[in-house]
Structure formats: structure tokens, C-alpha cells
């Protein structure tokens, strides 16, 4: 008698308010395209911030093979941090505003194709990192990008244009801050618009300040960005989309396993696009090859 091959178990966790509502028909698409010869699946919906983490932790405790984040970078972060260090793999169906990690991994934005990637279940290990023990997968930051993330979190509309409007409106009045930065034992002082910790090469919306960042090199790129004069902004913004901004005089990139940033006041940081509060001292650590993730 032939031995029955165990089907993989998979949970789709859907954030119903992610992005601009593209995920409304996702449950029907899962029924149509998920390979039931490979998977036994369940679909669950988040009810509030943090709920995705609870659902993902329950999945890990139950031995679920794959948890799929149906949402944006915030949802991916909530689920991914619950899977760090476990055997459970993370899948992504991108429906958010920025979708930075999905773009870095070249995960398709068409739902049927994204589900096809999950069906094939090709798994890769990637690094994750922490800011003061709070996990991020793709990008974290302090300064202007964190300030914008806080404004965007309370915006009435989601999507690229809402984000861009906030960036444009707030930039003229935002002043750079002074930071003391210790990177792998070396101490420097900089006045910066923002300090971004790049594990991936994506800032979201297909923009990049560090196209050479890698998810599996055991390092996070500390990107120190100076303020660009207002009159030069039209010349430099396109460089974010052409992935050439790292060549300008307005950014300094230091690759690190460990970094400590000290600022005058404790305020907001952003973790994968979502704001969070922390103190004056910001400590970043890399956790190498700590997350299984499904890739094309």
C-alpha cells in the first residue's frame, strides 16, 4: 500500500483594511487558485492592530507549515516577527501601500500569480533585525521617515499619493536632528534628515535609497541621509525610482551587524513603515538567516 503524503498546512491571514482595498476578493481567489493537492488551508481575518501576530503565534504553536500575510508591510511585519526562529515559512500576497519586502523579493502583484508562488513553496532563509528588541524585516528608520510614518498611520486615505502628499507637505518645516552613531565599535556624529536601517533594497513603492542592500548577508545598511535643499528636490526624487540616489552626496551608507544611535529626545521610530515609540537610545541588531520565506 502506498504511503499517503501529508499535505502542508497553510493559514492565510488577511488584513481587510490594508492598502486601498485590493484584497476584497482574495478569499474567492484562494479557493480558485490554491493547490489543494498540496495544501490544507484556512483563511483568517485580522480584527485590530496586533491581531495578525496573535494568529501567527497560534499557527506556529500548532505546527502550521506556512502562514501567508495578505496585506502590506505592516501586516508582513506583524506576521513575520511571530515566525522568526521557527520552522514555519512566511508567504506574502501584497495588498498594501508600499509593499517593500514583496518588491525586493519580486513577488507578483497579481493575486493568482502570487498564489502560484505559494503553491510552488520555494523557501529561502533571510535575515531579520531588531530595533530595541522590536523586529523588522525590510526597513526601519528614525527621523523624517518615522515622522512621516506616524502621520500616514492616521491619514484618512491610504496608497502612494496619500503618502507622497504627506512627504511633500511636511518636508519644508522638518529640521534635521543631531545623532551620535556607533557602528560596530566606531563612533561618529551626524546631523541627519533621517537614518534608515535597510535590510532590503526597497523603501516601498519601488523607491530605493540603497539598491545594494541584501536580505541574507548578515548585515543591515545604516543609511544616513542629509537634508536636500528644497530647490533641488525635483532633481533628486527621480533618483529614488531609478535606484541611483546612493551615488549622491546626500547619503552615507555604513554596513553593520550592530549599531547604536543616540538622539536628544525619545520619540517615534518606524518599523517596516509602521510607527512605534522608543527612547533616546536606538540599538539595532541583525539576526542572521532567522526567517523562512517563500520566494518566486
192 vs 224: CA distance, rounded Å: 6
With a cut of 60, say whether residue 240 has pLDDT above it: yes
268 vs 27: CA distance, rounded Å: 35
What's the pTM value of the predicted model, to 2 decimals?
A: 0.90
Mean pLDDT of the chain: 89
What is the per-residue pLDDT across 171-192, written as a single tens digit (0 to 9) for each? 888 899 999 999 988 899 999 9
CB 215 within 8 A of CB 127: yes
With a cut of 50, say whether residue 262 has pLDDT above it: yes
Q: Is pLDDT larger for residue 271 or for residue 165?
A: 271
pLDDT of residue 39: 87
pLDDT of residue 170: 83
What is the per-residue pLDDT across 115-158, written as a single tens digit (0 to 9) for each? 999 999 999 999 999 999 899 999 999 999 888 888 887 776 76
Long-range contact set of residues 47-54: C-beta below 8 Å, sequence gap at least 24? 49/78, 50/78, 51/78, 52/13, 52/15, 52/78, 52/79, 52/82, 53/78, 53/79, 53/81, 53/82
CB 46 within 8 A of CB 16: yes
- How sure is the predictor about 69, in pLDDT bands with cuts at 50, 70 and 90? very high
Specify the residue for cell string 514583496: 102
Q: What mean pLDDT comes out for the span 58-86?
A: 95
What is the per-residue pLDDT across 8-67, written as a single tens digit (0 to 9) for each? 899 999 987 665 555 567 888 888 888 888 889 899 999 888 899 999 999 999 999 999
Q: How many CB atoms lie within 10 A of CB 208?
A: 25
What is the per-residue pLDDT across 224-234, written as a single tens digit (0 to 9) for each? 999 999 999 98
pLDDT of residue 2: 44
pLDDT of residue 10: 95
> Interior CA angle at 214 toward 210 and 216, to 5°?
160
CB 130 within 8 A of CB 136: yes
Question: Cβ neighbours of residue 137 under 8 Å, at least 6 residues apart?
Answer: 76, 77, 80, 81, 101, 126, 128, 199, 200, 272, 291
- How sure is the predictor about 162, in pLDDT bands with cuts at 50, 70 and 90? confident
Q: Domains along the chain?
A: 8-121 (3.40.50.10330), 134-288 (2.60.200.40)
Q: Is pLDDT larger for residue 273 or for residue 57?
A: 57
With a cut of 50, say whether residue 263 has pLDDT above it: yes
Q: What mean pLDDT comes out for the span 243-260?
A: 93
| Spatial CA neighbour of 222 closest among 206, 201, 198 | 198
Q: Is pLDDT larger for residue 215 or for residue 163?
A: 215
Specify the residue for cell string 529626545: 265
272 vs 11: CA distance, rounded Å: 22
pLDDT of residue 1: 39
Q: How many CB atoms lie within 10 A of CB 232?
A: 11
Amino acid at each position: 500500500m502506498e504511503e499517503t503524503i501529508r499535505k502542508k498546512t497553510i493559514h492565510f491571514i488577511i488584513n481587510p483594511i490594508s492598502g486601498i482595498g485590493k484584497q476584497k476578493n482574495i478569499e474567492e481567489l484562494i479557493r480558485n487558485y490554491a493547490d489543494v493537492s498540496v495544501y490544507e488551508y484556512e483563511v483568517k481575518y485580522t480584527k485590530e492592530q496586533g491581531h495578525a501576530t496573535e494568529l501567527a503565534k497560534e499557527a506556529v504553536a500548532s505546527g502550521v507549515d506556512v502562514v501567508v500575510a495578505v496585506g502590506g508591510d505592516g501586516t508582513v511585519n506583524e506576521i513575520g516577527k511571530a515566525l522568526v526562529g521557527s520552522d514555519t515559512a512566511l508567504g506574502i500576497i501584497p495588498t498594501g501601500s508600499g509593499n517593500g519586502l514583496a518588491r525586493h523579493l519580486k513577488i507578483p502583484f497579481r493575486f493568482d500569480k502570487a498564489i502560484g508562488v505559494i503553491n510552488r513553496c520555494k523557501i529561502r532563509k533571510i535575515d531579520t533585525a531588531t530595533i530595541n528588541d522590536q523586529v523588522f524585516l525590510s526597513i526601519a528608520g528614525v527621523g523624517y521617515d518615522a515622522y512621516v510614518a506616524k502621520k500616514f498611520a492616521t491619514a484618512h486615505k491610504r496608497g502612494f499619493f496619500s503618502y507622497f502628499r504627506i512627504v511633500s507637505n511636511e518636508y519644508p518645516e522638518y529640521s534635521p536632528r543631531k545623532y551620535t552613531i556607533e557602528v560596530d565599535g566606531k563612533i561618529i556624529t551626524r546631523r541627519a534628515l533621517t537614518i534608515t536601517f535597510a535590510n532590503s533594497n526597497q523603501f516601498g513603492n519601488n523607491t530605493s535609497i540603497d539598491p545594494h542592500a541584501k536580505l541574507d548577508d548578515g548585515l543591515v545598511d545604516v543609511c544616513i541621509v542629509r537634508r536636500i535643499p528644497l530647490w533641488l528636490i525635483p532633481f533628486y526624487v527621480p533618483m529614488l525610482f531609478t535606484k541611483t540616489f546612493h551615488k549622491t552626496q546626500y547619503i552615507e551608507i555604513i554596513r553593520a551587524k550592530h549599531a547604536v544611535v543616540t538622539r536628544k529626545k525619545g520619540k517615534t521610530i518606524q518599523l517596516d513603515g509602521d510607527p512605534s515609540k522608543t527612547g533616546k537610545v536606538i540599538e539595532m541588531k541583525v539576526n542572521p538567516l532567522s526567517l523562512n520565506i517563500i520566494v518566486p
